[in-house]
Structures are given as C-alpha cells and as structure tokens.
Amino acid sequence: MSTLFSPFRLGTRVLKNRIVVSPMCQYSAEDGCATDWHMIHLGHLALSGAGLLFVEATAVSPEGRIAASDLGLWSDDNEAALRRVVDAIRRYAPPLALGIQLAHAGRKASTDVPWAGGHFILPEQGGWQTLAPSALAYAPGDAAPRALDTAGLERVRGEFVTAAQRAERLGFDVIELHAAHGYLLHEFLSPLSNVRDDRYGGSLENRMRFPLEVFDAMRAALHADVPLGVRISATDWVEGGWDIAQSLAFAEALRRRGCAFIDVSSGGLSPAQQIPVAPGYQLPFAAQIRGETGMPTMAVGLITDPHQAENIVAGGHADLVALARGMLYDPRWPWHAAAELGARADAPKQYWAAPPHGHGTLFKRDKDAE
C-alpha cells in the first residue's frame, strides 16, 4: 500500500491522502475580492485528487498585499466573493480539505505583478507605505518601510484575528499562518530585518515574540477543532540570518501552543540569499523539525516525482508533501502518481471514464467510500 495515498490526521481533520496543493499567488483579485479566475483556478485544482488544497496567500489588510491584485480577507466583500468559490468547490469537488494561508507582506508589499517585473511601487506611483519591524528596505531602491509602533502591532495582530475568524466562518478546514518568505512575521524573526531595541527585537526570544503573539491570538479566536499551522522559512540562506537552529526553537514554542503543523520552506528575506536549489533541497529541514519536535511537517520544494514523494512520507522525512509549480504544470498530478504507485485516487463522477486502458480501477467509486 502507498503511504502517500494513506489517510493522515491533521489536528481534528482527516486528510484522504498526504498530497497538498501549496498556496500559489495568482495576482488576479479586485480590491482583495476573488474573481472568476479563482473559481476556474481553484476549481480545477480541487478536482486533482489531492488531500488538501490551500488558497493562495491571502492578505489580512490592504497594506499587507504583495501587489494590489492580491487576494484579501479584510472585508465583508472579500468574504462574500470567496464564499462563492468555496461553495462551488464543496458542491462539485470530491472530498478534500480546504485550507487558507493568511499573510501580511510587510516590507515586501507594494510591488507590481511578477509578469510586469515585480518591482517595488512608490506611493506616489500608485503603491502604498509599507510596514515592518524596522525601517530597513528589502532591496536597494525600495522605499524604507515604517517601523510598527505599539498601536501598529496591536492593529496588525487584530487584522490576523479578524481574517482567521472570517476564514472559519467560510468553512475552511485548515488555516495556515504565513511566517516565511521574507514577509512581515518572518521579518520579525530574522536578525537581518529586525534591529529593534524594544521587547520585540534583539534576542531570539524577543524576535519570536510578535509572531507568537499573533499565533496565540488567532488560536484563541478559533474553535478548538480548527487546525492552525505555520509556514516558516527554515533558513534565510544568508550568513548571520535566521537559521535551522532558531527555526527549531520557534517550532518548539509553537508546539507548546497547540500548533497543528509546520510547513517548512526557506529563503525570501534577502536578495543576498544563496540557495542550493535541487530536488528536495528543503527536505532536511522538514525532517529535522519533525524529528526533534515531533510535530507534523509538510515538505515543499521541487518535489515532482511520485516515487520521490512516496519515499519522503514512507521514510518518515515528512508527513505531507506539498506541490506548487508541479501542480500548475500537471493539475492531475495525484491521479498520475496513484497510477504510478498502484494506488487509487479521488475524482468526480464526471471524470470516471478518464483513466486509459489498463487503469480502470484507478478512481475510488461511491462503494469505496469509508
């Protein structure tokens, strides 16, 4: 039996298999509201046969958007637009868990969309004032962010809580707090971007304080049966920056607070990063965090081959594997992985005739339901 296609309990939720569709920014929202693009994009990924589908990084405030066309969840209009997408997936897709990643871009906000260059946009050019733990720009030429004061910290913490409550009201099964890729909460963690001299800067304990406060506030605002996890960058890939030792301390602090999982990525904080990109290059971090804290982990980063994914979970390196670009390239990757591994996949009735000759038992049917 394939471990990749075995069920996995994530907090109170049981996933049908260990395959996760990672959050992937689409830059196709209008004033934070999901559009028909999200209906198409998320709708067809919901038919993939994955066990868990994450909605893209969703901004908790207008200032927290990476680009003006980011998805958001700060208003009633945002919530109503996303409900339309969620309801359609619930009605037509096979059983899968739906997750959402809540985020604030910090000093990496106010940029153009990637296909237009992704450059920083000044307020006078249509951008906005960015926020960060310290007034340090991400890259040369970027305007300096405004360092958050006490009132600003309280406001941002509240924005995460309100967005989490909206996500719960929408019926999301899993919520992920984004503390990776150089965005706001990662900026607090890393000594490269956080040079504060108050209780939120300096020591590791102080740099972890605000991200942990945000997690605590969200956890307290959600019902106990909603799994709340965190995505981290295990290392900045820059000397003197955030690293795996600090990530282990952060993961342990999260474990004590009831964190349901750690989604282990890396990098994104500094243009000076030197990343040794290769298949599974982030896997050792996920394995170490899993081994030393006992927390469920998601492995991400150039996982494209079904046997590679099978070996990751069967070997105990991670509990779940998450695909992003690979899923965009092949939105039926879980079907093809099931065929390769001799497993069975979920698919809607309308697609039961899809498997080629010799794979007639690939899909689970109603009679197979547990």
Low-confidence stretches of the chain (pLDDT beneath 70) = 366-370
What residue spans define the domains of the chain?
Answer: 8-368
Per-residue pLDDT of 10-51, as tens digits, reads 988 999 999 999 999 999 999 999 999 999 999 999 999 999
Residues marked active site are found at: 183
53, 6 contact by CB (below 8 A): no
Please state, in angstroms and as integers, the Cα–Cα distance from residue 238 to each residue in 142, 208, 269, 274, 276, following that order. Answer: 20, 19, 9, 7, 12
**Gap between the Cα atoms of 351 and 338, Å rounded:** 15
Q: What is the pLDDT of residue 366?
A: 64
The angle at the Cα of 163, spanning 286 to 168, to the nearest 5 degrees, equals 80
HSE-CB at 169 with a 13 A cutoff on CA atoms is: 15
Give me the architecture of the 8-368 domain, per CATH: Alpha-Beta Barrel (3.20)
Computed over its alpha carbons, how large is the radius of gyration of the chain? 20
Q: What is the pLDDT of residue 280?
A: 86
The encoded tokens of residue 185 equal: 């909460």
281-288 long-range Cβ contacts below 8 angstroms, 24+ apart: 282/234, 283/312, 283/317, 283/318, 285/234, 285/235, 285/244, 285/247, 286/234, 286/262, 286/317, 286/318, 287/316, 287/317, 287/318, 288/244, 288/248
Residues forming a β-bridge with 20? 52, 322
Per-residue pLDDT of 260-318, as tens digits, reads 999 999 999 999 999 999 888 999 999 999 999 999 999 999 999 999 999 999 999 99
Q: Are strands 13-15 and 8-10 parallel, antiparallel or unpaired?
A: antiparallel
